Structures are given as structure tokens and as C-alpha cells.
Structure 1
Amino acid sequence: MIQEVLQYNQIILLIALLLVTSVVVTKFSSRLGVPSLVLFILVGMLVGSDGLNIIYFNDPELAQIIGVISLVIILFEGGLQTKWVGMKKVLAPSITLATLGVVLTTSIVAMFVKYILGASWLEAFLVGSIVGSTDAAAVFAVLKGKNIRNKLEDTLEVESGTNDPMAVFLTITFIQLLTEDSSSIIGLIGLFFWQMGVGAIVGLLLGYIASYSLNRINLDSSGLYPLFAIAFALLSYSISSLAQASGLLAVYLTAVVIGNAELAYRYSILRFNEGFGWMAQILMFVILGLFVFPSEVFTSDIMVRGILISLILMFVARPAAVYLVLAFFRFTNKEKLLLSWAGLRGAVPIVLSIFPMLAEVENNQMIFNVVFFIVLTSALIQGASITWLAEKLSLVSDKLSNPIHSLELISVGKANVEIIEFDVSENNRITGEKLEDLQFPDKALINAIIRNGDIITPYGQTKILAGDTLYVTVSKHVKKQVQQVLSDVKEGVEKEE
């Protein structure tokens, strides 16, 4: 009994140390110019059986379960941050990239994999399917905090949030063709439309139900609202999956609907899911790092083949797919170049590469090792250079207006009141104006101004300056009017498309 308790305590200590190490690693990732996901994987590899031999992990089923649940949480957090205003402008090109673009990328990669790996055509297309999609977890992690033009950032986020279903569908299709003689191509095509259609319907429906419920229900604690929201993400995924539809697409659409609704305790929901999303990323990439045996991956044979396929993916397949798909949309050559380079591979390909293991496809270990090496090189080369390339192409711009945050008033209890926190920039129309001249509605009041670290007591003659942080108490039914006044930019400042 005592020995079991000590063993549990050691496991808890190990988990704590892994979390602390992984969080500290994120602090240095930007300084090193390396995406944090790569460092999380390296942490897992370090403590794994081929490293310090602290943890032995070789359970593909458990790795797949952890990977899928983590992807649900990451997709949900990313969807909550996706703005419908920007999303609808890029919906057509993004969806085209997420479907036709993935098919083109898969096909081009497969033609080279056939000869590089000496595989059959079905095995080549299986590898192409696994690495054919832009990874949401990698894109959300790399773009967070970067100021790439809204149009491009929105395109990448919507594409990566919606292309996982196509990659999953293609992967499962080629596994079935490899393992089952009776698979029907027509039946598989019908299944694809079923997965996309039902997944979209379930996601949108549960998103509206969740938004309505979050606003109507009165819970005893504000901390329960974020849990209530994440429950709908898991519900959306499970219902869609049980209906043989795309759970990942459903989760993303549920999150987009919730994130664009006027919610009670919105700030608490967003902040909770941001932290939960980071925890899911850490857990997933560390587990995937543990699952890898470096002595099998970093062999000359795997590395040479992996580098060849990576280069083809980065410089041939992805650019060809982007330029062909976006030929009928309004993107400049510079924008197409950046979108080509930003096709990051991350957790989804690694999770998908476990599927052939579970299905006992021939050469499954070789497929996993090659895919893992491709993901590692993609994250290291592309992930570390996206911001640099965007700057060189002049596709990074200053923010026209800072985001508006809402802080719930815990002390007011059930009052229909919030505090808005807003950072003033040079481009805001209110910059330089006196408080008494602001076109605020009656039930809104600026309570405090933070300027250069000092608190300024506001009065009618107080001028608003760039760099100020405003705290505005506002009744919820006039919140949109106040947000509009705060976010308006000066005349002559061009907004991004």
C-alpha cells in the first residue's frame, strides 16, 4: 500500500516537473526563433525511453485518444478567437484550400513518395493524405501574437480549422483500400459529403444552443461558465463522431458561433480556454514526443527520405496547390507566397500516422517515422521563418485598433453591467479628444485611465492620449455602441481588406 502511494506521488511529481519545464520552454521559444511545439516534443523525447529513460511510453491507442481530445480543445480555443467579420471575407478561398487544396497537395506528394520510399501507390497516397493538411494547432500557436495582415491570418486560421476533416477522410479511405478488398469508391465519396454536411449542421446547431444557454442560465459561480462552454465542444465532437460525421469540423464551427455571440462572462470563457488550450498543446506534444523513439527516427535512411519529402512538400506540393486553388481569388503573388510557406505540419499528421499502426497496415512504423521527421522539419524551418518572410514581403502591418476586453464585475453579482478594458492607439478616432466630447451613451462611464503606469482620475477636460488604457463601466445593452466608439479609426487610415 505504501509503495503504491509513493509510486503515485512520483507520477504526480513527474507531471508537475513536465508542466513547469514545458511552460518555461515557451518563454524561450520566441527568443530562439523556434515554435514552442517543437520544444514540447523535444521535452517528451528527452524524458522518453531513448533519452533519459524516465518514462517508457509505447501505447498507440492511448496516444491517439490523448491526441484527439487535445485537438478538440485546441480547435475550440482557436474557433473562439476567430472573428466572423474577417472569416466571411475569406471563407470561399479558405474552404477551397481546405478541400481541393488538400487533395492536390496529397496527390503531388504521393507521386514523389512512390519513388522515394519505394511504396505502392496506395501507401504513397496514404502518406500524402497524412501530411496533406495545414495543422490548426501549429498555425494557431505560431500566428498567436504575430501581426500578419488580417486577410492572410484569417485565411490560414479558417483553412487550418476546416481542413483536418479532409485529411482524416483521405487517411481513413486509403487505410480501408489497403486493408479491405470490398471498399467502394462511390460509397467513400458519399461518406465524405455525409461527414462534411452532418458535421457542419451539428457544429452550427450546438453553437447556437450553447450561446443561448450560456446567456440564459444563471449559475452559482462564474467559474462554471467556461466549463459549460467546453462541455459543448466535447458534445459537438462526440455527437458528430457517433453519427459517422466530422467531429473536428463540428467543434470548430461550434466554437466560431460561440466566440462571435454576445456572451455573459465572455472574458472568463476566453481566458479559461486559452489556458486550457495551452495545457492541451503541452500534453499532446509531450506525449507525441514520448511516443517517438529517436533511435528509429534519426537514422540516415529515414532522415534522407524525410528531408526529400519535406522539401517537395514545402517547395513543390503546397505552393502548387495554393497557386492553382487561389488563381480565381483576389490574392497577390506575395500573399500566395506567404500562404504557401505557412502550410505548417504539426500534431494532426502525427496523430493520423498512428491510424495505420492501429489498422496494422504494412510498413506502419516506417510511415510513422517518416511523417514525424517531416513534421519536425516543417515546424523548424517554416514555423521559425513565417514572421521573417511576412516582414520581407511587407505583409506585416500595424494594428489599426487594439482589441476590446470585457471584465465581469464579480462584486456587482447579477447586475447587468461589465467593465470594458481598452488600449488606445494612434489610429483611434478618440485619441486627442476630451472626455466630455465623446459620443458615449448615457449608461457608460470611464472610471479610470492608466497612463505611463499611473492612475489618472478622469474628468470632462481630460484628454485621451495614445498608450492610455481606459476602464469603462457599461450597461450590457449599450455595450456594442461603446465598442463602436472605441474601435473607430481616424479618417484617412485605410482598413485592411
Structure 2
Amino acid sequence: MQFGSFENDGIIFLIAFLLISGVFAAKFSNRIGLPSLVLFILVGMLIGSDGLGFIYFDNAEIAQMIGILALIIILFEGGLQTKWKTVRPVAVPSISLATLGVLLTSLITGFAVHLVLDVSWPEAFLFGAIVGSTDAAAVFAAIKERNIKAKLGATLEAESGTNDPMAVFLTIMFIEIINQPDTSFWNMFPSFLWQMGVGLLLGIGIGRLASFSINRISLESSGLYPIFTLSFGLITYSVASLLEASGFLAVYVAALVIGNLELTYRYSISQFNEGFAWMAQILMFVILGLLAFPEHVFQIDVITQGLIISFVLIFIARPLAVYASLIKMKYSNREKLFLSWAGLRGAVPIVLATFPIVAGLDNAALFFNIIFFVVLTSALVQGSTINVLASKLGLMGPVKDTPHHSIELISIAKANAEMVQFQANQDNDVVGHKLKDIDFPKRATISAIVRGDRLITPYGDTEIKPGDFLYILVSRKYKDELKKMLNKKKDQK
């Protein structure tokens, strides 16, 4: 298709309009407690052919490609922000939810789909597999900035970051069973083990390589470091896919490794990826909204069937899967109830719903419409009530103290020095001491202290208090010594 200058200008204007609409939608969603993905999707449906008619879009392959690329960016950003010390205690239950939980959710939902839609068992279980996993984009957006208990937030984030391989595996397997009835689950099971194992190893290996490269390379501009970092996320997915391993798992693990190792220009890298992930999320959900035609999604039959399946998924399948996956694990009934409710569906089921369309299955269009409706139902019902339920169950944690400030050198690599950010906690040995009484390493200088919303100029008599953010300029040679001193506990001798 040929585009003239007017058409090109129109496309650029439309992209700008979508991004601006997405930003305002995100702001509006926070005020009313509605997940932003719902508003993004509605924007796409509004400008589509059944709405204002600005765009006609029905290419499932392009939507699938955009969705996969956006999910890579979102997973990468989520992994960078995840702290290993928070995830490590919940690694086993998260993996159990990401594997056994997805399998049980898929099977239980499949039984309901078989009865409601009157389709074959393989088709019913295919539907269940598509909606069986929680969505990283939806969960990260819902949990971020909310004061859910750290244990539960970490469980949900780790589960959503690692459960895509099981969902993708089951989706592809049931498509193959439908197309080739003699295909066996047990024949494909070694493939699943390969995908998980190789994906995990690739993520760890490339993550360590990325961290080493980022810290050793000297670039002319600080703006190149975030781009260099993100490129490793894309490479990780590509290499994993070429080896027929799980690209999504590899990307998340690689980002988790990078984010928890020493990283130069950490703040710039974090801010860039956060903004880019928001842009990817906006465009992805808008595109998926364009792919759905309201006149098809909101038919009375689709609504009725979608509500029944949503009820089974939300109130039966997910809770049973959570309770079964967390048997003999240290979660209270209240925590299990919350994890059951917070299993949001989002972009992943819609993207996976394009797989049957691309494969040319008979009921692909019907499945897409109902799955789209199920995702909207999950986002509206569950996503808008997460905070309320957590509060009612007494599962709210302390207010998150995330610094919205940064002090960072422009030429940190060339200066052979770094600006270390450290938040003082009550149990740190430095708390309660004056700066002049603290034995800082050589070539370490306190540049600033941020206390609440105030910037404090450090003097020798300045006392460090709990919650203070310290910004310390230190030579790389003495960085490890500085961190060891800062992290020393009061009861350590």
C-alpha cells in the first residue's frame, strides 16, 4: 500500500493522539480505581471501524507481532524493577502457580467451555489454556504503587512473569492436537521441559553478560546506556526462540539478573524502560482494541457465554488452582483468597487468542470475541477491587517510599566514579549517627540527603535518620567497601 505525505502525516498524528490519550487514560484510571488497560482497549475500540471509523484493522498476525514485542518490553521492565531479595522467599510458590496453577486453571475452565459452547474437548481445553495464565502487563500495572504486602506483591509479579511459558505451551499443544489428532501430550512434554530449562539458563547467562557489558563499556552519551540495556532483552527473546525455548521466561529472568547486579546509570536505565514499557502497553492494548469489533464482542450470545465462563474462571478455576498449588506452603487462607482474586487476565490471553485465528481453526473468531469479553470482565471486576479486598483482608503493607528524585553524573564512566543511592532503615548501623562520626571509605563523599520531600545539605553534625535517602559519590575502587559499610546492621560487630 502506498502512502503519500498526507497519509504519513496522518499516521504520525494518530500515533501521537493515541499516546496522549493513553497518558490521560492512565491518569484517569488511577483516580477512579479502574485498570488502565480497560481504557486503552476502549480507546482502540472507539477509533475503530465500529466506533468513529478512523481505522479499519483486522490483521491478527500484525496484532500478534505487536503484542509479543510489547510483552517483551513490559516483562523486561518488570524484571528490572523486581528485587531478588523480595522474590527469593516466594520463588517456589510462584513457580507452582506458574505451572500447576496454570494447568489446573486451564483444565477446569475447559470443562466449563465444553458445556457452555458445545465444542470438542481439545477446543475447550485450548480456550482454557489461552485464559489460563495471569498477565504480566495487567499485574505489574495493578500492583505497582499500591501498598499490597510485599510477600503477596512479589508472588503475583513472579507468577505473572514466569507463567507465560506454560500458557504458550498448552495453547500450541492443543492447536496441534486439533490439527493432528494423533498428537500426544506426553510426546510434547519433553519440549516443555526444554523450553523452561533452556529459557531459564539463557536468561541467567545473557543477564550476567549484559550486566558485565553495561558496566564495562564506555559510551559517549548517557542516553545510549538504556538503549544498550534494552537490546539485551530483545536479543534474549530472539536467541531463546531460535533455540525453541521460552523467550518470555528468558527475558524476565535476564532482566531480573540485570536489575539485581551492580549497574551503572541505573536510574537512567530504569526511567527509560519504565517510560518505554508504558508506551508499549498503551499501543498494545489500543491495537488489541482495534482488532476487536464491538458489534461482535457485545452480542447477546457472546455476553451471556462470556459471563458464565468468566464466573467459572474467577470464582472456581482460579481459586481451586491457587489452593491446590499452595498446599503446605506458608500462606494463610486470607492470602490465598487474595491471590485467587488478583489473578488478572490482560494482554496475554488476547494475544494468544490470535494463535487459533492465524492457524485457521473453525471456532477461532468465536473464541477471540469471548476471550476478549472475559479479559474485559476480569479487568473491570477484579482489577478495580484489588485494593479494596486487600484492605478488607488486612493485607495492606506499609506505604511504598519510592524516591522521585535522582542525582546522577553525566559522565560517570569517564570519571571512574558512581553516585550510590542508599535508603537508611531502622536496623542499619549508620542510623542515629552523625556524618562526622561515620568512618566512610576513602574517596566517598555525601553529596545530598533527601528526607521526605526535603533536600538536606549534609554537614558533619547532620544525623542520619530512618527513611533518609543518601546520595554518595564514590570511586568505583571503594564502592564495594562503601556498600558493605552502609548495609552493616546494628547488631553486627
For Structure 1 versus Structure 2, the TM-score category normalised by the shorter chain is over 0.9
Q: CA deviation at 1:447?
A: 2.3
Distance 2:171 2:390 in 1: 32
CA contact (8 A) 1:447 1:471 kept: yes
Secondary structure, aligned partner of 1:353: helix
Q: What percentage of residue pairs aligned between the two structures are identical? A: 56
> Structure 1 pair 486/150, CA: closer, same or farther in 2 (3 Å)?
farther
Q: CA deviation at 1:442?
A: 3.5
Q: CA deviation at 1:191?
A: 1.4
Distance 2:434 2:421 in 1: 18
CA contact (8 A) 2:57 2:291 kept: yes
Matches within 5 A, 1:120-269: 120-269=120-269
Distance 2:436 2:10 in 1: 62
Instruction: Give the counterpart letter for 1:302 in structure 2.
Output: V
Q: Within the alignment, does 1:66 sit opposite 2:66 as a pair?
A: yes
Distance 1:467 1:209 in 2: 34
Instruction: Give the counterpart letter for 1:280 in structure 2.
Output: A
Distance 1:97 1:451 in 2: 39
What's 1:495 paired with?
A: none
Q: Within the alignment, does 1:38 sit opposite 2:42 as a pair?
A: no
Instruction: Give the counterpart letter for 1:13 in structure 2.
Output: F
CA contact (8 A) 1:407 1:419 kept: yes
> Structure 1 pair 487/381, CA: closer, same or farther in 2 (3 Å)?
farther
Q: CA deviation at 1:480?
A: 5.0
- The alignment of Structure 1 onto Structure 2 pairs a total of residues equal to 490
What's 1:283 paired with?
A: 283
Secondary structure, aligned partner of 2:472: strand
Distance 1:454 1:354 in 2: 50
Distance 1:91 1:305 in 2: 36
Distance 1:41 1:427 in 2: 46
> Structure 1 pair 424/309, CA: closer, same or farther in 2 (3 Å)?
same
Distance 2:477 2:145 in 1: 31
> Structure 1 pair 308/213, CA: closer, same or farther in 2 (3 Å)?
same
CA contact (8 A) 1:417 1:475 kept: yes
Distance 2:406 2:201 in 1: 30
Instruction: Give the counterpart letter for 2:64 in structure 1.
Output: Q
Q: CA deviation at 1:401?
A: 6.9
**Gaps spanning 5+ residues in structure 1: where?**
492-497
Distance 2:167 2:208 in 1: 27
Q: Within the alignment, does 1:4 sit opposite 2:4 as a pair?
A: yes
Q: CA deviation at 1:187?
A: 2.2
Distance 1:323 1:82 in 2: 25
1:369-406 alpha-carbon deviations (Å, 9 max, x no partner): 11000100101111111111111111112159767987
CA contact (8 A) 1:406 1:418 kept: no
Q: Could you state the TM-score of these two structures normalised by the residue count of structure 1?
A: 0.92
Distance 1:76 1:451 in 2: 31
CA contact (8 A) 2:412 2:418 kept: no
> Structure 1 pair 196/413, CA: closer, same or farther in 2 (3 Å)?
closer
Instruction: Give the counterpart letter for 2:128 in structure 1.
Output: G
Distance 1:421 1:40 in 2: 35
Secondary structure, aligned partner of 2:419: strand
Of 389-398 and 426-435, more deviation after overlay is shown by 426-435
Q: CA deviation at 1:157?
A: 0.9
Matches within 5 A, 1:14-53: 14-53=14-53
Q: CA deviation at 1:70?
A: 0.5
Secondary structure, aligned partner of 2:24: helix
Secondary structure, aligned partner of 1:328: coil
1:155-187 alpha-carbon deviations (Å, 9 max, x no partner): 111111110010000001111111123423332
Q: Could you state the TM-score of these two structures normalised by the residue count of structure 2?
A: 0.93
What's 2:476 paired with?
A: 476
Instruction: Give the counterpart letter for 2:398 in structure 1.
Output: D
Distance 1:350 1:139 in 2: 15
Q: CA deviation at 1:462?
A: 2.3
CA contact (8 A) 1:238 1:247 kept: yes
What's 1:437 paired with?
A: 437
What's 2:116 paired with?
A: 116
> Structure 1 pair 209/419, CA: closer, same or farther in 2 (3 Å)?
closer
Distance 2:51 2:465 in 1: 54
Distance 2:212 2:158 in 1: 24
Instruction: Give the counterpart letter for 1:81 in structure 2.
Output: Q
> Structure 1 pair 370/490, CA: closer, same or farther in 2 (3 Å)?
farther
CA RMSD between the two structures: 2.4
1:178-205 alpha-carbon deviations (Å, 9 max, x no partner): 1123423332112111211222222222
Secondary structure, aligned partner of 2:420: strand
Distance 2:312 2:283 in 1: 30
CA contact (8 A) 1:432 1:464 kept: yes
CA contact (8 A) 2:218 2:413 kept: no
Instruction: Give the counterpart letter for 1:149 in structure 2.
Output: K
Distance 1:267 1:445 in 2: 19
Distance 1:10 1:403 in 2: 39
